[in-house]
Amino acid sequence: MKIIMLNSVSDLHGYIDKSQLTRELEGTLEYGHSQWIHHRTAIENFAMTVKTTAQMLQTFGTDLAETELPNDVQCTEELLSSHTEHHNKLKDELKLAVKQGATLLTCIREPVTRSSTSKLSPDELENVATVERLLAQLDETEKAFDQFWSKHHLKLEQCLQLRHFEHDFREVKLELDNLMDAQAGFTDIGDSVTRVEHLLKERKQLEEKGQSLALHGDQLIQNNHYAVDSIRPKCVELRRICDDFTNETKKKYDILGKSLELHKQLDKVSKQWCDAGIYLLASQAVDKCQSQEGAETALCDIEKFLGTAKEHQLSNPKEFYNQFNMILTANVQKVLQKLEDVQEMFDKRQVSLKKLAAKQTRPVQPVAPHPESSPKRASPKSTRPAPLSKPQREGFQTHTHSVLTVLHIINELIETERVYVEELQSIIEGYASEMDNPDLIHLIPSALQNKKEVLFGNLPEIYEFHNRIFLKELENCIENPELLGRCFLKRKEDLQVYEKYCQNKLRSEALWRQCGDSLFFQECQHKLDHKLSLDSYLLKPVQRITKYQLLLKEMLKCSKNSEGTAELEEALATMLDIIKSVNDSMHQIAITGYEGDVHELGKLLMQGSFNVWTDHKKGHSKVKDLARFKPMQRHLFLYTKILLFCKKRDENTDGHEKSPSYSFKNSLKMSTVGITENVKGDNKKFEIWYNGREEVYIIQASSIELKNIWVSEIRKVLTGQLEACRGRTQCVIFVVLQWLGI
């Protein structure tokens, strides 16, 4: 090999053209070694990315092709979800690879982009071609993958459709087969219009469900489903079963249709004709029927009403009764009995009225020409009908009035309950919810911010109970009034929610007095179109809980010695106890100055105001002389553990009436007190003494009855403590000494 030694760069030009040399050798060739290395490295990395991506797509495609389709809905849904998720990840990888190639291509072409005179070197041109080839390869791979995925995804979706179809097919076929088996022995013809309509609707829906599923199968076939051979036989089977079911059901439809017609007729008779008849009989006043004219008018009204029986096909009661032989359910028998009772009531009323309307006529006597020669005759008796006897009067109204009153009370209870629920809903939606409305937040005064629970208390809890539970249970009593008492007893614990609401009422009223004039409440009231402001509606729960006991009392008046009377009496006692508990708790929360927690004193048994005199041994005064001194006015709170003496304070603030408060003055532990039931000279007084008569309190009630109630309640507490201590010698000795005053 010949080696030539050059002394300068210019000597080099004699051997190599400048166009082939870089600028470092005074040539014109555009070449940067570091840039060339950088581009080649990036191209190799991009080529590796393209290769890896293609392998991942190929692997995923192989997995998809080899995956067996599941045989149930859940597994198919899970497979579809997992494959879709994996597909989305690979698509993201493809997007990143394409972005990487595009960026690399931009970098290589950068010199040309910067200057219009620059040209790419052969190496750069080769790099551009390499990157473009790799991008084209990536694009082809993506298109092939998308095409494969589209087919696979369609197959998975069709598989899921098939599994749903198969699942629904099995369910519908089972229902139809079971109902077909039951058709032969089918005897249920319903005991009301609602029940019959439900039976008809139930069968119609099942038939429509089968036909709809078969139609869905046809649509799958039309959409070129891959499992046509599996779907078509099932569609044929469904239509065959539906046809068989329809043919069998048509035989039963005649019976159900007749049953529906008769039940509708029954409803008209019971709810229209019978009830109207009861109202008519009850509205005929006994005193107006005493006269002949009044009896004839009442009789005419009855005959006119009985004429309307033809509108209800009641012209022949026996025939009407006989046509219901096929559906003599308990409800039908009840309606027929009601019809029979009403007809009997009309018969008895007609008999009584006809007797009253009949005139007692006498033959006309000839007039003598000379009265003095005529024989003296007694004056004819008055033809005025005799007044009704007591049994007749009772026969007029006792039964009808009782039935009418019960119906009226039940209807009033349910109608007012519906109105009450609607009012509670309007408060919650129109006021409470609006406090969270961002469009009205600027109208809410600062004192009301975050005070929703103070203003409304547990009103949402009360609404939920009445709306979801109590109203529905009361509505069930329309046909069975005897269940009303049981309804209240069943919900005794739930009705305790009113105690919490009433305890919060003082705080709520105070907040309302502070913020009630705000624009927020005016805007809400305007939207609701309420004539009364919110504070009137917040009184509704207090008014409602007291209304129940009034309605129960009315029910008891006309339900004596009948079914459900005992439960009504117990329900009334329960409601009165709840009202007393609510009332007591409202007084209890107004106690001020007591350092302990009143909730730890046991159950609040009684509370009330009394005149009180006190005596202490230290003063050596005699109890019998206490009456000469002016008594103290004290409000007593009797708990199972303690007796509190408080002073009642009534205040008015800013023209608003304020609920009373009770300033704590003294307390006596019930475990250390004794009682003397009678005080000489005043039967409204009793004594409570403390620590062997070291302290004596003479208490005067407003009435003998009130005194006896308190004495009885205190005795129960002391007796309960005595029984609790029985068996413990020390405790027994202590109690005996206490009661002896030693």
**Residue 520: partners with Cβ closer than 8 Å, 6 or more residues away:** 434, 435, 440, 443, 444, 445, 448
Q: What pLDDT, on the 0 to 100 scale, is given for residue 570?
A: 93
Q: What pLDDT, on the 0 to 100 scale, is given for residue 403?
A: 63
3-state secondary structure of 647: strand
Query: How far is Cα 166 from Cα 157, in angstroms, rounded to an integer?
Result: 14
Q: Report how far apart, in Å, the C-alpha atoms of 640 and of each of 712, 717, 739 are.
A: 13, 6, 18
Q: What pLDDT, on the 0 to 100 scale, is given for residue 316?
A: 55
Q: What pLDDT, on the 0 to 100 scale, is given for residue 362?
A: 37
Q: What pLDDT, on the 0 to 100 scale, is given for residue 368?
A: 38
Query: How far is Cα 480 from Cα 406, in angstroms, rounded to an integer?
Result: 11
Q: What pLDDT, on the 0 to 100 scale, is given for residue 618?
A: 56
Helices (H), 269-329: 275-283, 292-307, 317-322
What is the C-alpha radius of gyration for the chain, rounded to an integer number of angstroms?
48
Report the length, in residues, of the chain: 742
Please name the residue that has the structure tokens 């009202």. Answer: 579
Query: How far is Cα 192 from Cα 143, in angstroms, rounded to an integer?
Result: 66
Residue 603 half-sphere exposure, CB side, CA atoms within 13 Å?
7
Q: What pLDDT, on the 0 to 100 scale, is given for residue 270?
A: 63
Q: What pLDDT, on the 0 to 100 scale, is given for residue 163?
A: 85
Asked if 324 and 277 count as a contact pair (C-beta separation under 8 A), the reply is no
Q: Is 26 left (phi over 0), alpha (psi -120 to 50) or beta?
A: left
Closest C-alpha to 190, from 140, 143, 246, 258: 258
3-state secondary structure of 645: strand
Q: What pLDDT, on the 0 to 100 scale, is given for residue 704?
A: 93
Closest C-alpha to 26, from 38, 36, 16: 16
Q: What pLDDT, on the 0 to 100 scale, is given for residue 444?
A: 92
Closest C-alpha to 502, from 584, 618, 608, 383: 584
Q: What is the mean pLDDT of each run of 10 residues along the chain (742 residues)?
A: 80 75 66 74 87 87 83 87 88 88 82 61 80 88 87 86 84 72 55 61 68 74 76 80 70 64 71 76 67 81 80 58 54 68 77 69 38 38 40 46 71 90 95 92 91 94 96 88 90 92 89 93 93 93 91 84 83 91 84 86 89 74 53 93 90 57 91 90 91 88 94 91 65 45 43
SS3 per residue for 550-583: HHHHHHHHCCCCCCCHHHHHHHHHHHHHHHHHHH
Total Cβ atoms within 10 A of residue 428: 17
Tokens of 34: 């570091």
Q: What pLDDT, on the 0 to 100 scale, is given for residue 80?
A: 86
User: What is the CA 469 to chain-centroid distance, rounded?
Assistant: 6
Residue 481 half-sphere exposure, CB side, CA atoms within 13 Å?
23
Q: What pLDDT, on the 0 to 100 scale, is given for residue 237?
A: 78
Query: How far is Cα 43 from Cα 38, in angstroms, rounded to an integer?
Result: 9
Q: What pLDDT, on the 0 to 100 scale, is given for residue 175?
A: 72
* Helix or strand holding residue 397 (H, E): helix 390-427
According to DSSP, the β-strands at 652-653 and 642-649 are unpaired
Asked if 42 and 104 count as a contact pair (C-beta separation under 8 A), the reply is yes
Query: How far is Cα 701 from Cα 685, in angstroms, rounded to an integer?
Result: 6
Euclidean distance between the first and final Cα of the chain, in Å? Answer: 142
